[in-house]
Amino acid sequence: MPGSAASVVAVLGGRPGRWLGPACRGAVLLLGMLGGGPVHAEARRPTNDAEVLEFLPNSGLERRELRAGREALRIHPERRELALALARRYIELGRADADPRYYGHAEAVLTPWLVPPSTDPEALVLRATVLQNRHDFSSALADLDAALRRNPRLGQAWLTRAAILEAQGDYPAALRACLALDRFATALASAVCVNSAMSLLGQARSAYERLGPLVAEAQGDPDELLWARLVLAELAERLGLWAEAESWYRAALASGRRNLYLLATYADFLLDRDRSSEVVALLENETRADPLLLRLALAEQRLRHPRHPRHAEHAAVLAARFAASRARGDTSHQGDESRYALRIAGDARHALELAQANWAAQREPRDARLLLEAARAAGRTDAARPVLEFIARTRLEDARLQALLVPPGGQRS
């Protein structure tokens, strides 16, 4: 009786605040949106002027800085450097908090500089970054190509190009982009780029041995160092060097820059090592970014400890956010959603569908692993074949994947 389900939701939606925690509120509202019935969430007219309805995410300093940037651009819309600087700032903020709104603001600021006759190569590179963030890889590559046609000396464009090609699993092309980058970047950036690509082309061990000492001695830009250490940590993990991976992760965390990708990757490392309580400690307050919330919920689930009663709430929030992404036609979260479906919702078939769709878009070792795990859980060994062929072709080495390639036995996540 689909209708009754809708009416139950409508009834629940009537006073969600009283019946359910704030976590479920979103889920109920969404069900109401997507189901047949109208939305009955009870909007109210507050009576107290002092009631806080929303907290803004940035500090006062950042807000004033951004306001000044927008104001300057409003007065001088013709000044390219104002637009580019503001877009860069938005992208930085978007990355720090994994907040897509900032990427959208960046795109809006860049818009006048993306159309002839004012097409600007640097603006194209920045938009490519925004597009990459949305996993719109082909549009991002098109922007980068257009930028490099106008100015082949844009190191940033080569680097971003390498990153996208690597994510797509086209390691030889990524390597070519890194070699082109060589002339326009610092020695460290160039070395990290080249060795990262080589490590995925069957030379993991030698790339690690070349890069390790270089990074250990490197000084300089904290962002560059964080990136280099992170690449090494992931490389050590692929080689099964757990202790070294851990020390690279810790070094990256110590660089004093907040980076959500680092937190997520390190949390995965800890989950693999069965150190869930450390994941909870690391991510306890990181509920705004979906990937971190997913890792937190996975850790809480593993602990099944009365001290973590928030697991159900976190799982419900995740379900609501994935549903919200689907409602707006966004597919960039499919990898995480597959993991959610497999580990938390316990729906191996759905997890497999998502992992397959994700594999069609991006082919990093983690994506390969998602597909292998979902295929095994769903009892569909045939579904894993594209990954096996990919590993055979690229000679990708990854200790975690090797464990999944042996016949079914142990449980991993």
Q: Interaction with another protein in 66-125: which residues (CB under 8 A)?
A: 67, 88, 91-92, 95, 97-101, 103-105, 107-108, 111
- C-alpha distances (whole Å) from 312 to each of 91, 286, 296, 363 are 33, 16, 11, 31
Beta-carbon-side half-sphere exposure of residue 59 (alpha carbons within 13 Å): 4
The runs of H, that is alpha helices, within 151-203 are: 155-167, 171-181, 187-199
User: How large is the C-alpha radius of gyration of the chain?
Assistant: 23
59 binds another protein (CB under 8 A): yes
Pick from 31, 73, 148, 156 the residue near another protein by CB under 8 A.
156
| Positions 201 through 220 that interact with another protein (CB under 8 A) | none
Q: Which of 195, 199, 265, 356 binds another protein (CB under 8 A)?
A: 265
Of 53 and 408, which has the nearer Cβ to another protein?
53
- Using rule CB under 8 A, residue 223 touches another protein: yes
CA distance 236 to 246: 9
* Continuous segment of H or E residues that includes residue 339: helix 334-339
Q: Which of residues 183-202 bind another protein (CB under 8 A)?
A: 184-186, 189, 196
Task: Please identify, among the stretches 25-33, 304-312, 376-384, 388-396, the one whose residues bind another protein according to the rule CB under 8 A.
Answer: 25-33
Residue 318, SS3? helix
Indicate whether 141 belongs to the interface with another protein (CB under 8 A).
no
**Separation CA 305–CA 36 (nearest Å):** 38
384: DSSP letter = G
The single residue among 195, 199, 356, 362 that binds another protein, judged by CB under 8 A, is: 362
* Backbone CA torsion sign across 310, 312, 318, 320: negative
For 329, phi and psi rounded to 5 degrees? Answer: 75, 25
What is the 8-class DSSP label of residue 344?
A: I
Here the tokens at position 68 are 């000044």
Q: How far is the CB of 12 from another protein (least distance, A)?
A: 11
Task: List binders of another protein among 275-314 (CB under 8 A).
Answer: 288-292
61 binds another protein (CB under 8 A): no
Near another protein by CB under 8 A: residue from 18, 48, 409, 410: 48
Buried b (16+ CB within 10 A) or exposed e, 110-146: beebbeeeeebbbbbbbbbbbbbbbbbbeebbebbeb
The DSSP output letter for 383 is G
| Interacting residue with another protein among 113, 124, 129, 280 (CB under 8 A) | 129
Sites for another protein among residues 308-347 (CB under 8 A): 317, 320-321, 324-325, 327-330, 332-333, 335-336
Q: Token pair of 50, please?
A: 């002092």
Work out whether 246 is an interface residue with another protein (CB under 8 A). no
Stretch (H or E) spanning 313: helix 311-327
> Is residue 178 a contact residue for another protein (CB under 8 A)?
no
Q: How many residues bind another protein (CB under 8 A)?
A: 113
**DSSP assigned state of 397:** -
Name the one residue in this structure whose structure tokens are 């390597």: 175
Query: Which of 45, 74, 304, 307 is close enough to bind another protein by CB under 8 A?
Result: 45
At its nearest, how many Å lie between another protein and the CB of residue 269? 13
164/280 with CB nearer another protein: 164
Among 147, 226, 232, 351, binds another protein (CB under 8 A): 226
Q: Note whether 147 binds another protein by CB under 8 A.
A: no
**For another protein, the closer CB: 98 or 352:** 98
Give the footprint of another protein on residues 372-401 (CB under 8 A): none
> Which of 148-156, 276-284, 376-384, 391-399 is the region at the interface with another protein (rule: CB under 8 A)?
148-156
Residue 143 or 336: which CB sits closer to another protein? 336
Q: Can you tell me which of 15, 19, 36, 360 binds another protein, judged by CB under 8 A?
A: 36
- Indicate the residue among 117 and 329 with the shorter CB distance to another protein: 329
**How far is it, in rounded angstroms, from Cα 135 to Cα 361?**
8
Closest distance between another protein and the C-beta of residue 61, in Å?
11
**Minimum distance from residue 409 beta carbon to another protein (Å):** 27
Q: How far is the CB of 270 from another protein (least distance, A)?
A: 16
If the CB atoms of residues 247 and 325 are measured against another protein, the closer one turns out to be: 325
Short-list 162, 178, 168, 173, CA closest to 125:
162
Residue 38 φ then ψ, to 5°? -75, 165
Positive or negative: CA dihedral 270, 386, 178, 135: negative
The label of the residue with tokens 């000679």 reads: 395
